[in-house]
Amino acid sequence: MFFRVFNLSSAAAMMDWTQQYEADQRGQLEILMSMATNSNLMMKELQIPHVQSEALYAVRYAMEKQTDKDMRQLIGSMETTNIAGILSEGR
Q: 46 and 55 in contact (C-beta within 8 Å)?
A: yes
**H helices present in 1-91, as ranges:** 2-5, 8-37, 39-45, 49-65, 69-89
Per-residue pLDDT at 31:
80
| pLDDT tens digits, 14-52 | 668 788 888 888 888 888 777 767 777 777 777 888 888
Per-residue pLDDT at 5:
55
* pTM: predicted TM-score of the whole model, two decimal places: 0.35
Rg (CA), the chain: 18
**Other beta carbons less than 10 A from residue 82's beta carbon:** 19
Name the nearest CA neighbour of 69 among 60, 77, 57.
77
Per-residue pLDDT at 37:
72
